[in-house]
Amino acid sequence: MKWLSVAFALVAPTQAALRFGCASLTIQRLDPLVEPGRSPSSHLHQIVGGNAFNVSMAGDIGEQGTCTTCTFSEDFSNYWTAVMFFKHTNGSYKRVPIMANDALPSGIKGGMTVYYTQQDFNSNGNVKMTAFRPGFRMVVGNPTSSAEQTGLRFVCLDNKSTRFPELANFPTKACKGGIMTVHHFPACWDGKTLDPPDHQSHMYNTVKNAFQNSGPCPASHPVRVPQLAYETLWDTAQFASMWPKDGSNPFVLSYGDNKGYGTHADYVFGWKGDSLQRAMDSSCMFNACENGRPLKSQVVTAMNKCAVKQMVNEDIDGWLTELPGHSM
Ligand SMILES: *[C@@H]1O[C@H](CO)[C@@H](O)[C@H](O)[C@H]1NC(C)=O
Ligand SMILES: *[C@@H]1O[C@H](CO)[C@@H](O)[C@H](O)[C@H]1NC(C)=O
Ligand SMILES: *[C@@H]1O[C@H](CO)[C@@H](O)[C@H](O)[C@H]1NC(C)=O
């Protein structure tokens, strides 16, 4: 195994970690990954990233977008999750607004915080991080799951900086500062398949909860890719006065899940050219990666301005008699 030690010696000890904000791009019932071509899709999503987002998406997304809601202006990827609703005891639903993370520049409109990390925030553990390729997509979690899923978590916020404890499902009391949903994606790729029919089997999960070092990749999925994670902060506190008297959780995800085990997230890779690989090969951390060192970046007003038009004509913001797409 002499070649192996040579290979390791050639890997530069980089320590890049990206953490950045993406404003809301759109909230609508579309899912070009799991339900391409279907408008409206089965449930509502909140989507951030590049404006090439559409009912169907194909080809190199990094070459198709003209703007993005993310800090890094060469990142036309799309990132999305289900949407949270409040269910009143009278049976009506109201969409829970999304708040900006206080770890990011102020003024970002809704959206998510996105991470691409290596072994941890300070090291790549001497393992080469291979960026995703054009056409790469993946899903983590499954709306039909009824059991706890590693890396998919809820945090009951005292304030926007609360990070623990991480729960496997919805908090069962009113949370003073809102609820954060966290989605950690697997970080081991089979090295070949861009997007299999199940959108998951090309990946292998050695990721644990929180931002812990993910374990070594198995021979079946040998390529270590950056570990992708999303954080979304939901402003549930504004519903505290309407919390049910019987103490039951009044929040529900847009596919009708009030436990939270079905929490899931989707990723369509769309970084332009080799920009993500260049970042992973550098030693920048968080906002020190901005302003061309090595990634091009943009100001919050430009992030907030990027949007796609509504393609599904339905009310999502009033008091609704049912979740969008869930009529009986
Ligand atoms: C979205 O796709 C439709 C075809 O389904 C196309 O007509 C439209 O131009 C696309 N929009 C964008 C912004 O690419
Ligand atoms: C339920 O309560 C909300 C908040 O008071 C109200 O706006 C909504 O119209 C009510 N829905 C029904 C069906 O009464
Ligand atoms: C936020 O809440 C955490 C506990 O979740 C606490 O440790 C921290 O001091 C709080 N920060 C502020 C600014 O109140």
Residues 95/316, Cβ–Cβ less than 8 Å: yes
Ligand 3 mutation target, pool 162, 176, 180, 233, most atoms within 8 A of CB = 162
d(CA 182, CA 247): 24
**Beta strands, E only, the chain:** 18-22, 24-28, 45-49, 78-82, 84-87, 93-95, 98-99, 112-117, 137-140, 152-156, 166-167, 179-184, 188-189, 203-204, 223-224, 227-234, 251-253, 265-268
Tens place of pLDDT per residue across the chain (328 aa)? 344 444 444 555 678 999 999 999 999 999 999 999 999 999 999 999 999 999 999 999 999 999 999 999 999 999 999 999 999 999 999 999 999 999 899 999 999 999 999 988 888 888 899 999 999 999 999 999 999 999 999 999 999 999 999 999 999 999 999 999 999 999 999 999 999 999 999 999 998 888 888 889 999 999 999 999 999 999 999 999 999 999 899 999 999 999 999 999 999 999 999 999 999 999 999 999 999 999 999 999 999 999 999 999 999 999 999 999 987 4
Domain ranges of the chain: 17-305
Q: Give the model's pLDDT for residue 119.
A: 87
Angle at 116 between CA 110 and CA 119, to 5 degrees: 140
Proximal ligand: closest to the CA of 155 = 3
Element (H, E) at 53: none
Tokens of 255: 């596919």
Cβ–ligand 2 distance for 241 under 6 Å, the answer: no
Cβ–ligand 1 distance for 277 under 6 Å, the answer: no
Q: Give the model's pLDDT for residue 8.
A: 47
Cβ–ligand 1 distance for 54 under 6 Å, the answer: yes
From the number of C-beta atoms within 10 Å of its C-beta (0-12, 13-18, 19+), residue 122 rates as exposed
C-alpha distance across the termini of the chain, in Å:
61
Cβ–ligand 1 distance for 307 under 6 Å, the answer: no
Proximal ligand: closest to the CA of 157 = 3
Give the strand order in the sheet containing 251-253: 93-95, 84-87, 251-253
- Residue whose Cα lies nearest atom 7 of ligand 1: it is 54
- Residue whose Cα lies nearest atom 14 of ligand 3: it is 159
d(CA 165, CA 142): 23
SS3 per-residue string spanning 13-41: CCCCEEEEEECEEEEECCCCCCCCCCCCC
Tokens of 123: 């090291």
Q: Give the model's pLDDT for residue 12.
A: 57
Distance 90 CA to ligand 2 centre (A): 6
Cβ–ligand 1 distance for 213 under 6 Å, the answer: no
Q: Give the model's pLDDT for residue 78.
A: 98
Q: Give the model's pLDDT for residue 2.
A: 44
Distance 175 CA to ligand 3 centre (A): 13
Q: Give the model's pLDDT for residue 13.
A: 63
Cβ–ligand 2 distance for 90 under 6 Å, the answer: yes
Ligand 2 mutation target, pool 319, 320, 321, most atoms within 8 A of CB = 319
Ligand 2 mutation target, pool 86, 87, 88, 93, most atoms within 8 A of CB = 88
Beta-strand pair 251-253/152-156: unpaired
Q: Of ligand 1's atoms, which has the minimum distance to the CA of residue 311?
A: 1
Proximal ligand: closest to the CA of 53 = 1
